Amino acid sequence: MAHRKKRSALLAGIVLFFLLTGVFVSQTQPFIKLSVKDYPTLSRVIIDSSFQLSFDIEKSSSLLMVNIRTDVPFRIQREAFESRMIKSFGWSKGKDFYILAIRTKIRNFSYDYFTLSDPPKLVIDFTQIAKEESEARDSLREKEALREKVPQPSTASPSSRIRTRSSSLQGMKTIVIDPGHGGLEPGAKGRFGTLEKNVALEIALKLRAVIERNFPSRVVLTRDKDLDVSLENRAALANNNKADFFISIHTNSSFRKDARGSETYFLSRDATDEEARRLAFMENNPTEFEEGITRESEDEIQMILWDMAQSAYLKQSSLLAESIQKELNSLLRTSNRGIKQAPFTVLAGVACPAVLVEVAFISNPREERSLTREGFQVNVAQAIYRGLVNYIELYSQK
């Protein structure tokens, strides 16, 4: 009995030691503390820090990003709050910087900030812009964008238009083609055993060939063989190569065996319909799920990806999707299921116009057979290529 008491006392001492050590470490580790206060004319975000802050601030849509330059890990503490203008906080970590994203409830806001040095503090004041002023600014931006992007009617000869097309394509730098799935993640499977990952790769290789054959451009594949590539690494590869376009190739699947045709998607936080939502869930969640990430953290990370990378390109992405879908309908004579929106992770972090093409339904036995035929794959590659070229002619910056 005495031995058991001694053992229990020893264990209790060890547990107490680690608890106290943890408290000490948490108190000494660098931190920033976030709080929000509302005033009659503004909402204020207060960032208290245990170290001197080196930062810059950038506005993007309904986000305000604070880029904190440091390679020292720190904790982030948040006080609970309710605010007229501030919705939530999110953050992401780079090699030698952190990005603190402040999500607002509105887009039409201005901001100002000041700092204090002892103790270090960054104070950011958010003020709502009058609706009339905001609408006037948006209207002016839209008119300027239209003048820059929409081509004027041309009476040039066919040969002249060909030279114009060649000239516009000369300015292209990099196109990233993403064959969906790969390696241990096969994607959807047809009734006859056809795997999505194999079809996607075959079409991607043919698309690369037709692009390289028709105009000078650097084409990068996220994979050129049967390899595992994470969704995040696909987007990172596009950004690291400074991609001008990102095209992800997949085959569709449905519980309805009569579902048929092509669909082209661009990014949206909300899915167009229930099928699009289900498809996005399937594409975003491979057979092995990562563990240890809370729902709150996942939402915050996704917030960074949505708004920092893709929000500036949603209009271009929708136009590119429309152009590709039109060619798929025309050349392949498939059912026109139209362009759709869905929260695909592979598109979320890409900083350029990005689309995901669901070529045909591998779950439909007739379309599954077509997907295995080289002639059909060539036609798909040609259709995507023509859609890309048509988009470049109409909307790319000259």
Going from N- to C-terminal start, the domains of the chain cover: 30-132, 161-395
- The confidence score (pLDDT) of residue 286 equals 47
Q: Is residue 316's pLDDT more than 60? A: yes
- The confidence score (pLDDT) of residue 388 equals 94
The pLDDT-based confidence of 175 (bands split at 50, 70, 90) is very high
Order the strands of the 31-38 sheet from edge to edge.
Answer: 75-78, 31-38, 43-49, 120-128, 109-117
As given in the structure block, the two tokens for residue 191 are 């009734």
Highest-confidence range of 23-37, 43-57, 81-95, 367-381, by mean pLDDT?
367-381
Residue with tokens 């004027």, as numbered in its chain: 152
Distances (CA, A) of 90 to 35, 164, 202, 243: 13, 45, 39, 26
Query: Residue range 360-366: average pLDDT?
Result: 92
More confident residue, 311 or 166: 311
Lowest-confidence pick of 87-91, 168-172, 393-397: 168-172
Per-residue pLDDT tens digits for 4-48: 555 555 555 554 554 444 444 445 678 889 999 999 999 999 999
More confident residue, 31 or 273: 31
Lowest-confidence pick of 117-126, 248-257, 310-319, 377-386: 310-319
Sequence-ordered strand ranges (E) for the chain: 31-38, 43-49, 55-60, 63-69, 75-78, 86-93, 97-104, 109-117, 120-128, 174-179, 218-221, 245-252, 262-267, 336-342, 354-361
More confident residue, 293 or 248: 248
More confident residue, 295 or 42: 42
What phi, psi does 318 have (nearest 5°)? Answer: -65, -40
- The confidence score (pLDDT) of residue 84 equals 93
Q: With respect to CATH, is domain 161-395 assigned 1.10.4160.10?
A: no
- The confidence score (pLDDT) of residue 12 equals 54
Collapsed DSSP state (helix, strand, coil) of residue 255 = coil
The pLDDT-based confidence of 342 (bands split at 50, 70, 90) is low
Lowest-confidence pick of 149-158, 214-223, 356-365: 149-158
Cα atoms found within 13 Å of the Cα of residue 259, Cβ hemisphere only: 18
Query: Residue range 302-321: average pLDDT?
Result: 68
Q: How many CB atoms lie within 10 A of CB 284?
A: 14
- Which CATH architecture best describes the domain 30-132? Sandwich (2.60)
Query: Residue range 195-210: average pLDDT?
Result: 96
Please provide the average confidence, as pLDDT, over all residues in the chain.
75
Distances (CA, A) of 232 to 36, 38, 145, 344: 32, 37, 31, 11
Listed in sequence order, the residues at least 6 apart from 103 whose beta carbon sits closer than 8 Å to its beta carbon are 62, 63, 86, 87, 88, 89, 90, 303, 307
Task: Give the angle 323-328-329 at the CA atoms, nearest 5°.
Answer: 100
The pLDDT-based confidence of 206 (bands split at 50, 70, 90) is very high
Collapsed DSSP state (helix, strand, coil) of residue 310 = helix
DSSP secondary structure letter of residue 29: S
Cα atoms found within 13 Å of the Cα of residue 260, Cβ hemisphere only: 14
User: Which of 358, 395, 363 has the alpha carbon at shortest distance from 380?
Assistant: 358
> Across the strands, what pairs with 103?
63, 88
CA distance 298 to 296: 5
Q: Is residue 290's pLDDT more than 50? A: no
The pLDDT-based confidence of 390 (bands split at 50, 70, 90) is very high
Residue 180 identity: G
Per-residue pLDDT tens digits for 317-340: 889 999 999 999 887 676 667 776
As given in the structure block, the two tokens for residue 326 are 């039109």
Q: Are 327 and 336 in contact (CB under 8 A)?
A: no
User: Which of 270, 303, 294 has the alpha carbon at shortest distance from 88?
Assistant: 303
Distances (CA, A) of 40 to 44, 93, 131, 284: 11, 34, 18, 43
Please report, to the nearest 10 degrees, the dihedral formed by the alpha carbons of residues 252, 253, 254, 258 taken in order.
70
